[in-house]
Chain A
Amino acid sequence: MPMLEGIGLSCIRDDRLLFEELTFKLVSGQILLLEGKNGSGKTSLLRILCGFREPDAGEIRWCGDAVNDSQFLAQMAYVGHLDGVKRELTVLENLKIALALGNTGHYSIDEALSKVHLAGYDDVLVQALSAGQKRRLSLARLLITSNVLWILDEPFTSLDKQGIALIEALMTEHCANGGMIVLTSHHEIELHDVDVQRINLS
């Protein structure tokens, strides 16, 4: 049973203590929503979970063991502030690269594109997409690769109401399938039948 634990985490940035003694436990089907004002360490915590930063104290455990890179990375996916898609490549080329870098997931590329309402955009260069479409494309990456843990930093940025509802539906589906999600968001998220834990960092 997949399980993500943070034990006694703390983070110091530029001599400022962002958080300390942060402990949480996330199991299949749950969502962890990080709240807090700007600069309270939400993104830092997500980057620590991804392994981009070392926590200044404490440790992260995946399924009870200390995080072992290749095993953990094969089961997680991250969508951050930056979309992580190449402007000069087409939608399809971008997803093919994502697929080559990860493991094949539930959905094929075509299915994922229609899920995020980008069907028919296969051969469009990403630089011709709007900000919201780009965001949906980077979220489509979550669907085509196999992963249990989604780490999402402000996934609703630049999405319209329809887009937000779409992502909420995808998140609900992911949790129903036994996945788990850690996310930050300024929007009030509306999820039904999902166990949402909240941590306020400020």
Chain B
Amino acid sequence: MSLSHAFFAIIRRDLVLALRRRSEIANPLLFFVLVITLFPLGIGAQPHLLQAIAPGIIWVSALLAAMLSLDSLFRSDFDDGSLEQILLSPQPTTVLVLGKIIAHWLVTGLPLLIVAPLLAVFLGMPSHSLGILLLTLLLGTPVLSLIGAIGVALTVGLRRGGMILSLLVLPLYVPVLIFAGNAVQMASAGLPVDAQINILTSILFMSLVLVPLPVAAALKMSIN
């Protein structure tokens, strides 16, 4: 069978699995919505303050939601032996792993994009910055899944890898957070954001190309 066939079969498999265990989709999304709706209640009646920190709130929540969902990326495949079968496939592991990461983003990252505009309006963000917010989420959340995959691949063999996973992954998330948050803030102020968008785009393409290699290697180590 051809490589593209295997690639799409893996994506389809993971999407079907996610549909059959709904909590995997619902959990990060629910977390994202809950955190953002709690902020106005915590801050009180200060719409200007809320408007000013809205990009930060949305992006930090998206980042934490992404981190919350990471463990599910390889956990069940590791536990039931499917990961062994994937690694033993004659098809290159890097491509199959990329398929899994893309499916993971479709399940956990894409729903955030869909609810984000609603939540942005809720926080009082100016409507002309909504487009930039969506663009940063579109470019940034796949990077969160990609970089997170390295951490998960390294820790999936450990009983309690949760803590180490956050320590490993969080510092690598910081650049995305800085550039994305900054872009939305600038856009709200009506300033150009080409530079930040370019940097986010280049981070995305770089991780798309580079991440599958360490992930495949780390999985081989974890399965040992």
Chain A contact residues, CB within 8 Å of chain B? 47, 50-53, 70, 73-74, 76-78, 80-89, 93, 96-104, 141
Please tell me if the beta carbons of B9 and A50 are within 8 angstroms of each other in the complex.
no
- Give 27 pairs: A residue, B residue, CB < 8 Å, sorted on A: A50-B84, A52-B84, A52-B87, A52-B223, A70-B90, A73-B88, A80-B81, A80-B84, A81-B81, A82-B81, A83-B80, A86-B13, A88-B16, A88-B20, A97-B10, A100-B1, A100-B5, A100-B10, A101-B6, A101-B85, A101-B91, A102-B1, A102-B89, A102-B90, A103-B1, A104-B1, A141-B85
Complex CA–CA separation, A196 to B76 (angstroms) = 36
Chain B contact residues, CB within 8 Å of chain A? 1, 5-6, 9-10, 13, 16-17, 20-21, 76, 79-82, 84-92, 96, 220, 223-224
Complex CA–CA separation, A185 to B92 (angstroms) = 31
Query: Which of B1, B81, B92 neighbours the largest number of chain A CB atoms within 10 Å of its CB?
Result: B81
For the residues of B in contact with A, the DSSP-based class is helix
A82-B80, A84-B80, A101-B9 in contact; A76/B88 too (CB < 8 A)?
yes
Contact of A100 among B9, B20, B81, B84 (CB under 8 A): B9
Which residues on the A side are within 8 Å of B79 (C-beta)? 82
Which residues on the B side are within 8 Å of A103 (C-beta)? 1, 90
By beta carbon, the residue of chain B nearest A96 is B9
Which residues on the B side are within 8 Å of A51 (C-beta)? 88
Please tell me if the beta carbons of A84 and B9 are within 8 angstroms of each other in the complex.
no
Contact of B224 among A53, A86, A141 (CB under 8 A): A53
Closest chain B CB from A23 CB (angstroms): 23
Please tell me if the beta carbons of A89 and B13 are within 8 angstroms of each other in the complex.
yes
Contact of B1 among A47, A52, A77, A99 (CB under 8 A): A99
Query: Which of B1, B9, B80, B89 neighbours the largest number of chain A CB atoms within 10 Å of its CB?
Result: B89
